[in-house]
Amino acid sequence: MKTTEMPFIKTVERHFLERKGHNPHATTEFCWLLSGITLATKIIASQIQRAGLLEIVGETGQTNVQGEEVQKLDVIANETLVRCLGYRGNIGLLVSEEDEEPHVIQDATESGKYTVLFDPLDGSSNINANVNIGTIFSVLQRDPKVEDKNVMGHVLQPGYKQVAAGYVVYGSSTVLAYTAGYGVHMFTLDPSIGAFVLAQENVKMPTSGKIYSVNEANSRKFPVGVQKYLDWVKTDEAGYSSRYIGSLVADFHRTLIRGGVFMYPPTKKAPNGKLRLLYEANPLAFVAEQAGGVASDGHQRILDKQPQAMHERTPLIIGSKNEVEKVLSFLK
């Protein structure tokens, strides 16, 4: 009688632990933190799939600290992440896009040395249209040189100090991509076993890609250099295609896989840009660079920016190396 061998399954946590020899943070303790993120995103994915049935689609009637309409699923996603991460013993601070102040879980002792920052549900305004949305996360180590009482001193660190970062995109399948400084790795949620299973190691972003992604309705409000770039990409000589979903995670995920460039430039109404530096631009810039891409605000590398405020905004130009450099050449 023949026996069929079970396929080898490698989860996020197991994959991370296998890098013990390279990454000093690749410990069972840190995997406990990662498992909190994967648990929360699995719960969020389940809620999104049943949102219409559970009558949790639509606005709450409130606005968040960003001045944006709060969706019912925004609240659920935020509470889920806070609850799943709040009892992980090695997390000291939680920072969410939806909250005005950080959640102080415990003092910056050895057991509370990590800070997790997140956008719980990016693109939530697209929920009613059944468009892909996602969760973005970033992990920092609390700075031992900063006094424990100085909470913002631990939060306001430049992006190059990130220990790990990634995102989950909820679509036809639920996909997680993460980096801990040694490449980008992608996992797909297998609902039959309730685990994120390794789909692709060492993901590389194409160095070029004839796709540009930007909200062109604002084009006349963009800097002159961006306007000139947009005029150029429409020429027969350039040969580009436009793809814009309007959900940062979804647009970035496509750019990571297929190449191209995503832009959210400053406008006259938002001269400092619109995307949040700490829990949108920084984690995606870390992923992009680890995959061979580039992320800039138009003047400097995103990961070199020194944050001044928890909800600081920034312009963002991110994607394939050659494509970002092409945009920057027009800005010069």
- State yes or no: pLDDT of 36 exceeds 70: yes
pLDDT of residue 242: 96
**19 and 168 both lie in a single domain:** yes
The average confidence (pLDDT) of the chain is 88
Q: What contacts 132, CB < 8 A, 6 or more positions away?
A: 123, 126, 169, 170, 171, 245, 247, 249, 250, 253
Q: List pLDDT tens digits, range 53-80.
A: 555 555 655 666 566 666 788 888 999 9
Predicted confidence at residue 310, as pLDDT, reads 94
Q: Are residues 195 and 219 in the same domain?
A: no
End-of-domain residue from the set 168, 200, 232: 200
pLDDT (0 to 100) of residue 224 = 96
Enter the pTM of the model: 0.92
What tens digit of pLDDT does each residue of 6-26 get? 456 888 888 887 776 666 776
SS3 274: coil
Which residues lie across from 188 on neighbouring strands?
175, 197
Residues β-bridged to residue 69: 63
The span from the CA of 213 to the CA of 173, in Å, is 22
Phi-psi region at 204: left, alpha or beta (left = phi > 0; alpha = psi -120 to 50): beta
What percent of the chain has a predicted confidence (pLDDT) above 90?
Answer: 62
264 Cβ partners below 8 Å, 6+ apart?
214, 215, 248, 273, 274, 275, 315, 316
Same domain as 182, residue 296: no
Domain that holds residue 231: 211-331
CATH code assigned at 276 = 3.40.190.80
Are 222 and 102 within one domain?
no
Which of 200, 222, 247 is at the close of a domain? 200
Judged by average pLDDT, the poorest of 34-38, 132-136, 139-143, 166-170 is 139-143
